[in-house]
A and B are shown apart, each in its own frame.
Chain A
Amino acid sequence: MVGGGPAGLACAAELAGRGIGCTIIERREALGGRAQELACKGSVHCRQCDVCRAHRLRDQVLASEAVTVLTGVELEQVERCSGRYRFALRRPTEAIDGGRCSRCGKCVEACPTGAMAKRGGRIRLDRGLCRSLQGLECERCVSVCPVGAIDLFGEEHLSVSGGAVVVATGAREFPPAADPRLGWGLVPGVISSMQLEAHLEGRSPIALGPKGKVAFVLCVGSRTSKAGTQMCSAVCCKYSLRQALALRERASALGITMFIMDWRGLDGEDALLRELEGSGIQVVRARPAEVVEEEGRPAVRYAGDGTVRCEAFDVVILSIGLIPALDDGTLTELGVPRDELGNLVDQGCGDRGLFLAGSCLGPRDIERCIEDGISAARDAIAYLEGGDG
């Protein structure tokens, strides 16, 4: 199983439930894919955003003995011989030697980015924040550690093999900085929908003020022929609407405007649309051209009612789409074909024991990813029982 997002987890849980052992190879430090960073979008009502399903699956997988989880691994090589796949992997070892560490906290003080932090009585390294691991010069923690317990670059080599491979590598978020017109990183108050997720979850609150004005700009990085993808991302209308409703519920005096092109993928979500109608959230059909700075606040320039308007907000949220991860070495090694948009396609993959699931096949929500995962598990079982290899 390559990739431990909702699709990969669902597949692993299904396989494990049927007594078939599998290994999840996950590049990141923790399982769960993007769902780790997403917030539950209900508060009084459940809005069926399905984020909790991903967490439940993760718990189920971690509690299962049939599933081996390898996180933080980097692929070195894939081989296929006599019907079996063999992956050679590299994994960084624990940066801090727990046996030697005296928990003096000197490294925590020395770390300029807060990557070293005391958590649960132990000192841990957040690899994503560490400057040395990003190739910058630092290693301050190594030099201050009195007992020499820190090795930032240790590595171990692993090898995993299996009769079938499920690819569930997901899609990437569109980097909002790639569309500079919308001002992310340039205009204060412009944030991405992922940052809003962190706010909703309470991880890094954003100052919204009780009576602030907030705008959502949809289709960022999707349905465009410039930066991003031509595809519709299929998830942003859904999650943005839920985010907006969740925001409204928490701060009822907040003024919320949504700039949409169309509502997509909301068929069958009548309850949400009804909630939207009664919520006082303003919906404007326009594709904003620009977000500019106006007296320290972001202002959205768009065409509406036959004129060009410029409206200032306190916070502008860019609802970023999902784009295919084109430069993934693993997929190149496995030789999975892609369509003209960059999504993986299942052309004869099943014949060689290769199955695909989740948003690597094209943007889709968690529910569909889970269904994909389960179907891929079934196909893989049928293939393995077919006695090939």
Chain B
Amino acid sequence: MGEPMRAAVFICRSHGANLMAYRGLMKHPLVGHSEALPSCCSQAGRDQIRLHLLGGKEQALLVLGCRASELGRYQEVAASAGVSPDRVAVVPYQQRTASAAELALARALDGREPVIPREARDERLLLLGEGHSFEAAAEQAAKEGLVTIALSPDGLDAPVHLLGGPGAFTLEAGEIIYRFGAALLAFDLQVEVTRETLGEGPSVVLLVGGEECRPALVRAVEGTLAEGRKAYIVSQESPFSGSSEGVYRALQARGATFLRAAEAEVSAEGVRVHDEHLGEAVLIEAGEVVTIASHRPMALDRVLGVFGLPPSRRPLGPAPGDSGVPGVFLCGSALSGHRDGSETQAARAAAVSLARELRSPVPRTPKARVDRERCSKCLTCLRLCPYGAPSLEHGEVVVSVERCQGCGLCVAMCPAMAIEMPPSDLRAEVRATRMGGMG
């Protein structure tokens, strides 16, 4: 694969402690050149950096101890000297630790994910789905000024292929080709209410679903109570959490009875329910049986498959809606834990954070790293990783920076102990917070 890439490192001397903190880094094998500048963020400093980069020996630029907001300027300097802006990093003086610098170095030199040139990045959003989360996301994306390609799953009947990566996806659906920078999948669980009238008498509501059914349940029960009839609700768990507990109490106070059972037998005599607390089965002479059930949209699993996601995937990464696959986001009650009415809010938040990521894709910090010497290529990590981050490339195991969430599973399970996690690992973060009061 040729010579490894190297970085040119410039350290700002206007913060005295910088030199101390970064002494070790100057000798790092991936640092081709290091230099302390009297003041890096002045015109003179930038000229000096540019002059050095024009020499062409290094492919990345790292500025240590400057202000984070200067990144844009350094990227310009780098671009004018033929270094990709994606390979420029600034470690702000507030994060003056050697490990922060080392992470930034690894990130700037990371060649494992294809780095898409800036001008080729697509800022359009593919919004795929249906339901109220879809609408909320579409509305928010419009407010963010995103160009949105809205697509219903019916539009994906033909064989579909997804190519490319974040910033430049291509979706071929039969004859049609969609190009976009990120995708948001928005699907809600579909709630279905069926009514069966048996005669006079109380109404029995069978609930086969969770909190997503709550509005329908409340409507059905209130309707029954308003008619002066009695209402029985049969469900395994009550779908009221948080502040909606009030509604639950109010319904009970008005005469609704909740029975705990996963299912009930409906026959001509009535509904037989086996409540856990009552012990034996009870028969309700029901006049009406209402079944409220929810199911996943039919097209969902196919859509997830197209994007390389397993059916059980929930949002995980640090940004709301992050699916773990770079550039693909999830929202809606069928795709998240949000079923209590907060899914539209979640959809909005996903659209907001996605818009920001789309415009300024910040590379994530690498987490798990494989020590090639120790790795016995048993591929345990490939099988175990919930996020599909490790892969085998050119006979070596590499971990995708974008996919790795730092959960530590591979570190724990690697038989060769070949995987390590740099200090940004969760526990280290937790520890750091504990010790580092704000002073």
Contact = CB atoms under 8 A, between A and B. Distances in A.
B378 interface: no
B409 interface: yes
Contacts of A231: 242-243, 245-246
12 contacts: A14-B353, A36-B434, A42-B426, A45-B409, A46-B405, A48-B314, A65-B68, A234-B242, A341-B243, A371-B346, A378-B348, A378-B352
Given A64-B68, A285-B260, 6 more contacts: A44-B412, A265-B242, A268-B338, A306-B279, A339-B243, A343-B243
Nearest to A52: B426
Contact of A46 (B211, B350, B386, B430): B386
Contacts of A374: 320, 349, 352-353
B349 A375 contact: yes
B354 to A, nearest CB: 11
Contacts of A53: 318
Contact of A63 (B95, B246, B279): B95
B437 interface: yes
B349 A341 contact: no
Given A46-B409, A119-B435, A262-B237, A65 B242 contact: no
A31 B434 CA distance: 11
A115 interface: no
A40 B430 CA distance: 8
A32 interface: yes
Given A69-B438, A201-B430, A263-B237, A63 B349 contact: no
Contacts of A69: 438
A48 B276 CA distance: 31
Interface string A291-304: 00000000000000
Contacts of A94: 439
Contact of B433 (A36, A43, A306, A375): A36
Interface in A11-52: 14, 17-18, 29-32, 36, 39-40, 42-46, 48, 51-52
Given A52-B429, A363-B242, A17 B356 contact: yes
Contact of B241 (A31, A124, A234, A372): A234
Interface residues of B, number: 66
A81 interface: no
Interface of B: 67-69, 92, 94-95, 140, 143, 210-212, 237-246, 249, 260, 276-277, 279, 312, 314, 316, 318, 320, 333, 336-340, 342, 345-346, 348-350, 352-353, 356, 360, 386, 405-409, 412-413, 426-427, 429-430, 432-435, 437-439
A368 B426 CA distance: 20
A242 interface: no
A262 B260 CA distance: 10
Interface string A361-377: 01110011011101101
A68 interface: no
A169 interface: no
Interface residues of A, number: 73
Q: Which of A31, A119, A267 has the most CB of B within 10 A?
A: A267
Nearest to A261: B238
A360 B279 CA distance: 41
A253 B242 CA distance: 34
B438 A31 contact: yes
A37 B265 CA distance: 48
A371 B342 contact: yes
B20 to A, nearest CB: 15
B41 to A, nearest CB: 12
Contact of B438 (A30, A42, A267, A339): A30
Contacts of A44: 408-409, 412-413
A370 B349 contact: yes
Contact of B337 (A51, A263, A268): A268
Contact of B242 (A40, A262, A364): A364
Given A51-B430, A55-B429, A268 B336 contact: yes
B241 A32 contact: no
A372 B246 CA distance: 22
Interface string A82-115: 0000000000001000000000000000000000
A55 B409 contact: no
Contact of B430 (A43, A52, A371): A52
Interface in A269-303: 269-271, 285
A136 interface: no
A231 B242 CA distance: 6
Q: Which of A29, A31, A59, A362 has the most CB of B within 10 A?
A: A59
A223 B408 contact: no
Contacts of A63: 68, 92, 94-95
Interface string A224-244: 000000111110010000000
A259 B320 CA distance: 32
B139 to A, nearest CB: 12
B243 A262 contact: no
Interface string A145-176: 00000000000000000000000000000000
A371 B349 contact: yes
Contacts of B337: 267-269, 367
Nearest to A233: B242
A64 B93 CA distance: 11
Contacts of A310: none
A267 B437 contact: no
Nearest to B346: A371
A18 B407 contact: no
Contact of B240 (A30, A42, A65, A232): A232
B312 A271 contact: yes
Q: Which 9 A-B pairs have the closest CB atoms?
A: A267-B210, A46-B407, A234-B242, A371-B349, A268-B337, A264-B241, A232-B245, A362-B243, A374-B349
A36 B434 CA distance: 7
Contacts of A234: 241-242, 340
A269 B260 CA distance: 20
B198 to A, nearest CB: 29
A226 to B, nearest CB: 14
A362 B242 CA distance: 7
A265 B244 CA distance: 11
Nearest to B360: A17
B437 A29 contact: yes
Interface in A316-340: 339
B241 A265 contact: yes
A354 B435 CA distance: 34
